[in-house]
């Protein structure tokens, strides 16, 4: 599949990396020569330096043979123009990043299949995290009957030092499964012999109605936040505050720039906007950070967010979530004082991946700080897996099946579970495992 990506900024270069790791033909168009050179050096893809809105540049990139155009430059106008050119050339699928909410409907009317705003995508992800205490990920699969949960293993946790096989023996009639462990920025598909360590980022799949067991095991609560403090007045902070206020969560936003404070206070009547340094302990205390259920550090600087999280944790805040613009930091710094991380580029990439995979694969989700993806795929009539048990399949170490949705029911499979036609498999795969997963669907 030939994929053209316009703009090698945060979202674009991340997507280019993922697609090229999967073995797709990726062409990146970037106007900044330095950025273009960097992408060319790091990734196995074609890079064209030029204006992504210009028809001649797009033609040079081979737009005519492309199957997908992803216009994710930082300019709404360039993205819309690129999609327009793609529509004229009859490119089947188009994705555009558009930040201006007023333009969204108009761009969709132009025939763009997916219009995405990274800030909005991240704000929605934050909302999910805030409504579940101290969970780092929560994604629903199989019509909401199965969930993928993520959490960090705390220092005092009882599971430190035990292997997954031992854990499984302890719990009777388990209906959850640890599928992957992220440690020091590397993702391992879970095996029985995997031993859990402090600071591990654990991903598990469980039935949506039986989350109590895994929650207890990982020391989590599922009480939704009632009081949230947001550090920073960025676009993401503002959008998140708006979503929280709509859900009647008591929201306080702290920003240091007075003019920005005023603009946010004018736009969001239900949010308390406080003007001051977001990392000033005295002020955080006077705003009652000690009894905040969640603190979201969403300033534009990763360093400030890290600092804000540490201060918040030290002052006794409940769940602490940081935003990192550098996706690598998002993976490395989770755990310790930070319960979860978000990144608008990852959130946006997630949505785009979900859209691109649509077809045999029903949905796909990336996990911050990990190269693994969670996929939901349907077993078609020509699938080689029909009639075989999971053990028979001899899946590679880059792929694990953690849940099956079958005829209105959903469960966590065992080694001797037989796969039938029409099953929806919930799999977690490293990039190399994705083609294997695709084969399973037939």
Partner 1 sequence: MSWRHLLHVVGAVVAAVGVSMLSAALVSVVYREWSDVAMITLAAAATVAIGLAMWRGFDRPGELTTREGFAAVGLAWTAMCLVGALPYLFTGSITNITNAVFETSAGFTTTGASVVPDPALLPHGIQFWRSLTQWIGGMGIIVLSVAILPLLGMGAVQLARAESPGPTPDRLTPRFSETAKRLWLIYVAFTAIEAALLWIGDMTLFEALNHSLTTLSTGGYSTNAGSMGAFSAYSQWIVIVFMVIAGASFSLHYRAVRNPRLYWKSAELRLYLAIMVIAATLIVIGTWGGGVLDVIRDAVFTTTSIITTTGYGTADFGLWAPALEIMIVGMMFIGGMAGSTSGSVKVYRLDVLYEASRSDVRRLIHPRGVFVTRVGKKAVPDTIVEAIQTFFLLYMFAFMTGTFLLAIIGSTGDPQLDMITTVSAVASSLGNVGPGLGLVGPTENYLVVPALGKWLLAALMIVGRLEILPILILFNPELWRR
In the bound state with partner 1, the residue whose beta carbon lies nearer, of 280 and 418, is: 280
In the bound state with partner 1, the residue whose beta carbon lies nearer, of 67 and 280, is: 280
What's the min distance (Å) between Cβ of 342 and partner 1? 25
Positions in the binding site for partner 1 (CB under 8 A): 252, 258, 261-262, 264-266, 269, 272-276, 283, 286-287
Reduce the DSSP state of residue 374 to 3 states and report it: strand
In the bound state with partner 1, the residue whose beta carbon lies nearer, of 251 and 341, is: 251
What's the min distance (Å) between Cβ of 248 and partner 1? 17
What's the min distance (Å) between Cβ of 252 and partner 1? 8
In the bound state with partner 1, the residue whose beta carbon lies nearer, of 6 and 317, is: 317
CA dist 345 and 354 (Å) reads 14
The gap between the terminal CA atoms of the chain, to the nearest Å, is 18
What's the min distance (Å) between Cβ of 255 and partner 1? 9
Q: What angle do CA 81, 85, 91 make, to 5 degrees?
A: 125
Q: Which two three-digit tokens encode residue 210?
A: 């039986």
In the bound state with partner 1, the residue whose beta carbon lies nearer, of 95 and 264, is: 264
Starting at the edge strand found earlier in the chain, the sheet holding 114-116 runs 46-49, 25-30, 2-6, 68-71, 93-97, 114-116
The closest alpha carbon to 410, from 140, 185, 181, belongs to 140
Parallel/antiparallel/unpaired status of strands 340-342 and 227-231:
unpaired
What's the min distance (Å) between Cβ of 260 and partner 1? 9
Using a 10 angstrom Cβ sphere, with 0-12 exposed, 13-18 middle and 19 or more buried, the burial of residue 154 is middle
What's the min distance (Å) between Cβ of 230 and partner 1? 14
**What would the DSSP string read from start to end of 88-124?**
HTT-SEEEEE---TTTHHHHHHTT-SEEE-HHHHHHH
In the bound state with partner 1, the residue whose beta carbon lies nearer, of 172 and 266, is: 266
């Amino acid at each position: 599949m030939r994929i053209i990506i316009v703009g090698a900024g945060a979202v674009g270069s991340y997507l280019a990396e993922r697609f090229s790791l999967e073995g797709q033909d990726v062409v990146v168009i970037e106007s900044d020569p330095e950025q273009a050179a960097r992408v060319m050096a790091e990734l196995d893809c074609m890079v064209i330096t030029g204006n992504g809105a210009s028809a001649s540049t797009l033609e040079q990139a081979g737009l005519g043979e492309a199957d997908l155009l992803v216009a994710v430059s930082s300019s709404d106008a360039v993205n819309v123009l690129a999609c327009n050119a793609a529509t004229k050339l009859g490119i089947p699928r188009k994705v555009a990043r558009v930040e201006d909410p007023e333009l969204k409907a108009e761009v969709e009317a132009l025939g763009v299949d997916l219009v995405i705003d990274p800030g909005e995508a991240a704000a929605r992800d934050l909302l999910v995290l805030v409504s579940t205490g101290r969970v780092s990920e929560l994604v629903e699969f199989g019509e909401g009957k199965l969930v993928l949960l993520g959490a960090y293993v705390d220092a005092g946790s009882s599971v430190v030092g035990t292997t997954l096989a031992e854990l499984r023996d302890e719990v009777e009639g388990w209906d959850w499964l640890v599928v992957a462990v992220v440690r020091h920025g590397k993702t391992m598909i879970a095996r029985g012999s995997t031993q859990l360590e402090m600071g591990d980022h654990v991903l598990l799949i469980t039935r949506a109605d039986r989350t109590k067991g895994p929650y207890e095991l990982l020391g989590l609560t599922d009480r939704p936040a009632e009081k949230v403090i947001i550090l920073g007045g960025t676009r993401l902070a503002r959008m998140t505050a708006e979503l929280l206020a709509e859900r009647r969560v008591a929201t306080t936003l702290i920003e240091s720039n007075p003019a920005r404070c005023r603009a946010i206070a004018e736009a969001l009547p239900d949010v308390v906007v406080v003007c001051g340094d977001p990392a000033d302990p005295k002020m955080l205390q006077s705003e009652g950070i000690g009894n905040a259920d969640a603190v979201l550090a969403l300033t534009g600087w990763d360093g400030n967010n890290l600092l804000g999280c540490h201060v918040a944790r030290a002052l006794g805040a409940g769940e602490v979530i940081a935003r990192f613009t550098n996706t690598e930091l998002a993976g490395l710094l989770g755990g310790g004082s930070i319960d979860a991380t978000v990144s608008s580029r990852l959130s946006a990439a997630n949505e785009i991946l979900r859209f691109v995979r649509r077809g045999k694969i029903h949905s796909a989700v990336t996990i911050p700080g990990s190269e693994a993806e969670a996929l939901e795929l349907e077993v078609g009539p020509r699938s080689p897996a029909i009639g075989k048990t999971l053990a028979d399949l001899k899946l590679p170490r880059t792929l694990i099946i953690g849940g099956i949705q079958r005829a209105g029911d959903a469960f966590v499979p065992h080694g001797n579970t037989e796969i039938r036609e029409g099953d929806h498999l919930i799999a977690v795969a490293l990039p190399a495992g994705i083609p294997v997963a695709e084969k399973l669907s037939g």
